[in-house]
Structure 1
Amino acid sequence: GRPGLVKVGYGGPKISRGLHPSGYTDNLVHNINDLGKLNPKTDGVRIGHSVGTKKRKEIVIKSIEKKFKIFNARVTERASKS
């Protein structure tokens, strides 16, 4: 069969459009300075793909201190020991 046509009623609530399923806004962060512009109560953090392990670790530590929701922390035990 064919996929259904988009009609009235397929959209979600206006309040939740553009939000991560957890309810936070999805913000791309490439350095620690980007965290200063965000609000931990409403904004979530997604670390950029091009950020290396060393800087990623710093961003994760700072995000945890400021109590941000991190969507893709991806810090392994090996990286956290060094």
Structure 2
Amino acid sequence: MPTQPETRPLGELLRRAGLLSQAQLEVVLQDQQWQPDLRLGDILELRGWVKRDAIEFFAEQWPKLATGSRNSPIGYYFQ
């Protein structure tokens, strides 16, 4: 039986990966309410909290990797 893709919001994925604190996530979500035309990743990059490469990895690649049968630590994917 195939596993379902990771469906957590991007901010939660970054927080769980240790790239973003809960306080930072709350600030970014508040910023997003004031700037609804900006995506969460754009705000993170503008604030300098997370690099674009990491944002793109978690937005685009992580859901595909999370459905695989390999259960490697997150550091494995950044080698």
Report the TM-score when normalising by structure 2.
Answer: 0.25
Report the TM-score when normalising by structure 1.
Answer: 0.24
Larger Rg: 1
Which structure is higher in strand share?
A: 1
Higher relative contact order (CA 8 A, sep 6+): 2
Which structure is higher in helix share?
A: 2
